[in-house]
Amino acid sequence: MTSQPGTTPTLLSPLRHRDFRLFWTGLLLSSVGSQFTTVAMAWQIYELTDSPLQIGLIGLARAVPQIAILLFGGLLADAMNRRRLMMLTQASLFGVSGALALLTLAGSATPLRLYVATMFLALFSSLEAPSRQAFVSNLVPREDLSRALAMHSSQRQIAVIAGPSVAGLVLAFAGPALCYAVDAVSWLIMFAALALIRTRLPERGGWRTVSLNALGAGLRFVWRHPVIFPLLVMDFGANIFGTVRALLPVFARDILLVGPEGLGVLYAASAVGSLLGAVGFSLLGRTSRAGRWILGGVTVYGVCVILFAQSQSFWLSVICLIGYGIGDTISAILRATINQLSTPDELRGRMASIHSLFTNSGPQLGQFQAGALAALFSAEIAATSGGLIILLIVVVLALGFPKVREYRIAEHR
């Protein structure tokens, strides 16, 4: 796949490609729906239990199936038609979200049932995640890939801006059941978008290629790469210790005193920063000093976590979360670009699954860690200690791994 002759890549270049437009739009609407469930479930658990630890257990419930199934999802992404696999998972996710809405309407929602539903949502999302990430490179030419990845990131951030803000209002005036119903409809929208995509994808080897040897090939590739593996470890550590989203209900209700409406704004603030970071990177295009930009982005992330933990002002907290999102997204886009350009297409599903194992399970384990630490001490201490550990990780990586610090994306053009 190549761009049209004589065209110059721009901010929205990937949208020239019909199938990417469909995919991106479907993901955007589906991601908005997912944010309705994220906000509703955290608030519902806190209202039912009045416990920060119980909010943290949502993260643990997500992390367990993610860790167990993500690598298998990567094998499937490299063995099967990625579009069909995603359509199957959308149908399954619709069933889970619909069940959550019905349970809540019937007054039968309990913490245990919410945790079980969370596990199923994480299970099906983990089966889909490697295919979703690898699919982007099938829909756009190489010269549009970095911008497509930036747009892929920006749709998530647009969703996290729009979703929680509206979800907080819906939650305040209509309750969690409607939030879950909105999420259920969003899975159907993504299913329809995938059904309309025309790009012919390779059928690959099917089930006979799903094996431990195939998994080993992906693991060896990541382990031997001088930059991909250290960056994955850094991201995992930053996510475990820097996940403040788990504590937002505590900050909203007990520290900043802004209620569910303010909770939606706090959820959206980091996404505003992430969107700004993604748009800024799209305008910039590709930067050659990727390693230094990544370390700089994570440094901003850690500093903003510390400032947020100490803030007693709602709007100062919002500004800190915006900076948090900017730093995180700059790092994430550059790491995703390195992964895609360094990995052969036949290994991209496994690469995406290994990457997701670190980047997706990290925040969920981090949510549990933050909730447990907040229950033992306080939400402020939990967030402050996390930010300090992130800065320590950056120092270790910058001083101990010079290949990461000096890495240039131009090496793989």
Q: Tell me, what's the pLDDT at 6?
A: 45
Distance set, CA 53 to CA 58, 165, 324 (Å): 9, 24, 23
Which DSSP symbol is given to 289?
A: -
**What's the token pair of residue 254?**
């007990």
Q: Tell me, what's the pLDDT at 211?
A: 55
Q: Tell me, what's the pLDDT at 411?
A: 44
What residue type is assigned to position 14 of the chain? P
Q: Each residue of 30-86: pLDDT tens digit?
A: 888 888 988 888 888 888 887 777 777 777 777 777 766 766 766 676 667 778 888
Rounded Cα–Cα distance for residues 143 and 168 (Å):
39
Helix orientation angle between 82-105 and 111-139, rounded to the nearest 10 degrees: 160
Q: Which residues of the chain have pLDDT under 70?
A: 1-12, 67-68, 70-71, 73-75, 77-79, 142, 146, 153, 157, 160, 201-215, 217, 281-288, 340-342, 344-353, 356-364, 409-413
Distance set, CA 300 to CA 131, 223, 327 (Å): 30, 27, 5
Residue 370 contacts residue 246 (beta carbons within 8 Å): yes
Q: Tell me, what's the pLDDT at 197?
A: 86
**What's the token pair of residue 223?**
């382990």
Tokens 């995640």 correspond to what residue?
Answer: 129
- Dihedral sign (CA 52, 54, 57, 59): negative
Q: Tell me, what's the pLDDT at 2?
A: 45
Q: Tell me, what's the pLDDT at 91?
A: 92
Q: Tell me, what's the pLDDT at 12?
A: 67
Nearest to 384 by CA among 282, 279, 281, 309: 309
Show the CA angle centred on residue 198, arms to residues 196 and 199, nearest 5°: 135
Q: Tell me, what's the pLDDT at 345?
A: 63
Q: Each residue of 319-341: pLDDT tens digit?
A: 999 998 888 887 877 777 777 66
Nearest to 297 by CA among 206, 390, 169: 390
Nearest to 338 by CA among 293, 272, 308, 296: 293
Using CA atoms in the order 295, 366, 242, 49, what is the torsion angle rounded to 10 degrees? Answer: 160
Q: Tell me, what's the pLDDT at 186?
A: 92
Nearest to 37 by CA among 106, 107, 108, 120: 120
